[in-house]
């Protein structure tokens, strides 16, 4: 365990903040670490100071391949270092935790996947299909120099059937652990309106673009909360996984009762209500509103930038159709376009792997080896990860690790990218074990 903690601290100290990333530092740390254990690996440089690492235990037969990763070594910036209990790039070990930016997202997985790989190699593990280790750069800024670059430039190196990466393994109820089968997409749009400029001193019957934008904002909120089509598939997984009683289950998965359920839930657990709301629909959140140039001029233009999150299966046509429905008669006057990259725009669609399969059973078995009586509950991540590139190519990809069962679910939400990010040593121990168990169960069965 000492070795894992030391490597984790080193990766935190390497401070691979993206942008600019400079991940080659951590890639070299891992390369050196593997070499110390007599393991060969290959480093692929995607840009100056940026790179990705691949190691492999070849399969003895043509069995299914499993990948540990893509595990990213880049981290997000720290906004308020003074608010931290420790220096965020110190990798301090204190109170049973390793502290620092990236500890949770996702350097503990990098370390535990590397260690499980080393342990298997040392035991002369002979899998039927390849076991691949992939460590990447640039996940936090979209993967162009990391996972996506590897798939485009060295696809043969990382060809796999299954993979496990961030983020999963937190307990949602006693003995119930979530694992990520998919993620929502982000399809950010700009909705613009035109008006007729005029003097602000005489607004009677004016054609004010801001009026239209204001109406549109209210319409988007109402549509998202009460009119947009609902999907209860993902709540159904949750209800089943949590073994809810009949009434509770109906309350959760009956579309007509859902508004009532959400209303009740928000009084008890607002965070959970937000999750349930997001799991049932494409969400629309108008987050930037701009219009006008001068206080005494009626604005000729106004626009709204809308953060739109799609569920698996909801494509661009779906997004635009429902934006138009939401806007109603205003749609005729609206121009809807994807938010440009210069404006921070980014589009990826929701995606998911099967909620149950032979591989999912193997993951559950790997967990039960450490925490008997635990079961897995399928979940959709609200955020985007590198998994999308692999799911697009038919790989079954899951967010899977194993947290100390004492860790509350809210921990992940508040600490990932947040202040005092840290990971418990118990979680490092458990995650290392489940990755090891999973490879053993799945690749030699
Ligand atoms: Zn991450």
In which element (H, E) is residue 285 found? strand 283-291
Looking up residue 323, the CATH number of its domain turns out to be 3.30.70.360
Task: Tell how far the Cα of 109 is from the centroid of ligand 1, in angstroms.
Answer: 10
What is the domain extent for residue 422? 2-182+350-443
Is there a single domain that holds both residue 12 and residue 120? Answer: yes
Number of domains in the chain: 2
The angle subtended at Cα 413 by Cα 430 and Cα 18, nearest 5°, is: 90
Which domain CATH number covers 369?
A: 3.40.630.10
Among the three residues 348, 382, 397, which one is the final residue of a domain in this structure? 348
Q: What is the pLDDT of residues 255-304, one digit of tens each?
A: 999 999 999 999 998 888 998 999 999 999 999 999 999 999 999 999 99
Contact present, 130 and 58 (Cβ < 8 Å): yes
* Contact by Cβ (8 Å): 185, 404: no
Eight-state DSSP code of residue 340: P
Ligand 1 centre from 267 Cα, in Å? 31
First to last CA, the chain: 28
**Averaged over 420-429, what is the pLDDT?**
96
For residue 264, the CA-to-ligand 1 centroid distance in Å is 32
Q: How far is the CA of 165 from the centre of ligand 1 (A)?
A: 9
Rounded to the nearest angstrom, the distance between the alpha carbon of 383 and the centre of ligand 1 is 9
Beta bridge partners of 133: 55, 68
Instruction: Give the residue among 207, 412, 166 at the shortest CA–CA distance from 301.
Output: 207
Residue indicated by tokens 């492999």: 56
364 alpha carbon to ligand 1 midpoint, in Å?
A: 22
Question: Is there a single domain that holds both residue 24 and residue 157?
Answer: yes
- What is the 180 CA–ligand 1 centroid distance (Å)? 13
Residue 225 has pLDDT above 70, yes or no: yes
CA dist 196 to 206, 319, 328, Å? 7, 29, 21
Length of the chain (residues): 445
> What percent of the chain has a predicted confidence (pLDDT) above 90?
88
Q: Tell me the DSSP string of 212-267.
A: HHHHHHHHHHHIIIIIS----HHHHHHHHHTT--HHHHHHHH-TTTHHHHHHHHHH
Give the Å distance between the CA of 399 and the centre of ligand 1: 10
**Least confident piece of the model among 106-110, 337-341, 364-368, 386-390:** 337-341
Q: Tens digits of per-residue pLDDT, 183-223? A: 999 999 999 999 999 999 999 999 999 999 999 999 999 99
Model confidence over 16-30: pLDDT tens digits? 999 999 999 999 999
Distance separating alpha carbons of residues 181 and 321, to the nearest angstrom: 27
CA dist 91 and 113 (Å) reads 19
Where among 348, 382, 409 does a domain terminate?
Answer: 348
pLDDT value of residue 347: 86
Prediction pTM value? 0.90
- The DSSP call for residue 194 is E
Cα 92 to Cα 3: distance, rounded to the nearest angstrom: 14
Residue 296 C-alpha to ligand 1 middle, in angstroms?
47
Whether residues 408 and 333 share a domain: the answer is: no
Residue 413: per-residue pLDDT: 67
pLDDT tens column, 73-93: 999 999 899 999 999 999 999
- How much distance in Å is there from the Cα of 275 to the middle of ligand 1? 19
Lowest mean pLDDT across 272-281, 302-311, 339-348, 349-358: 339-348
Q: Which domain-ending residue is among 293, 316, 348?
A: 348
């Amino acid at each position: 365990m000492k070795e894992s903690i030391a490597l984790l601290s080193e990766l935190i100290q390497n401070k691979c903040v993206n942008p600019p990333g400079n991940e080659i530092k951590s890639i070299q740390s891992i390369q050196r670490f593997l070499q110390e254990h007599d393991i060969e690996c290959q480093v692929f440089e995607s840009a100056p100071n940026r790179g990705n690492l691949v190691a492999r235990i070849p399969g003895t037969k043509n069995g299914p391949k499993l990948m540990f990763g893509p595990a990213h070594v880049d981290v997000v910036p720290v906004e308020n270092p003074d608010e931290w209990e420790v220096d965020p790039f110190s990798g301090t070990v204190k109170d049973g935790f390793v502290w620092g930016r990236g500890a949770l997202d996702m350097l503990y997985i990098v370390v535990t996947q590397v260690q499980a790989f080393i342990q298997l190699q040392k035991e002369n593990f002979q899998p039927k299909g390849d076991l691949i280790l992939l460590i990447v750069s640039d996940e936090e800024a979209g993967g162009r120099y990391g996972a996506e670059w590897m798939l485009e430039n060295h696809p043969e190196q990382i060809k796999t059937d299954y993979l496990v990466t961030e983020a999963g393994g937190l307990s949602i109820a006693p003995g119930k652990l979530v694992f990520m089968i998919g993620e929502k997409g982000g399809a950010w749009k700009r909705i613009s309106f035109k008006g007729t400029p005029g003097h602000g001193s005489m607004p009677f019957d004016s054609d004010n673009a801001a009026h239209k934008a204001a109406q549109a904002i209210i319409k988007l909120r109402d549509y998202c909360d009460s009119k947009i089509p609902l999907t209860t598939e993902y709540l159904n997984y949750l209800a089943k996984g949590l073994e809810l009683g009949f009434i509770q289950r109906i309350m959760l998965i009956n579309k007509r009762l859902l508004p009532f359920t959400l209303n009740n839930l928000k009084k008890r657990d607002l965070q959970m209500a937000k999750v349930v709301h997001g799991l049932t629909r494409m969400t629309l959140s108008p987050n930037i509103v701009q219009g006008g140039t001068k206080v005494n001029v009626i604005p000729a233009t106004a626009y709204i930038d809308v953060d739109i999150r799609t569920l698996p299966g909801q494509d661009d046509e779906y997004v635009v159709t429902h934006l138009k429905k939401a806007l109603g008669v205003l749609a005729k006057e609206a121009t809807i376009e994807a938010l440009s990259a210069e404006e921070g725009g980014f589009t990826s669609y929701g995606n998911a792997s099967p909620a149950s399969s032979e591989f999912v059973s193997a993951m559950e078995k790997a967990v039960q080896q450490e925490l008997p009586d635990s079961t897995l509950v399928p979940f959709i991540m609200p955020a985007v990860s590198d998994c999308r590139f692999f799911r697009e190519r038919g790989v079954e990809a899951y967010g899977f690790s194993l947290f100390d069962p004492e860790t509350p679910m809210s921990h992940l939400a508040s600490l990932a990218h947040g202040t005092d990010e840290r990971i418990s040593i118990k979680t490092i121990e458990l995650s290392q074990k489940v990755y090891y168990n999973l490879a053993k169960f799945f690749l030699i069965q």
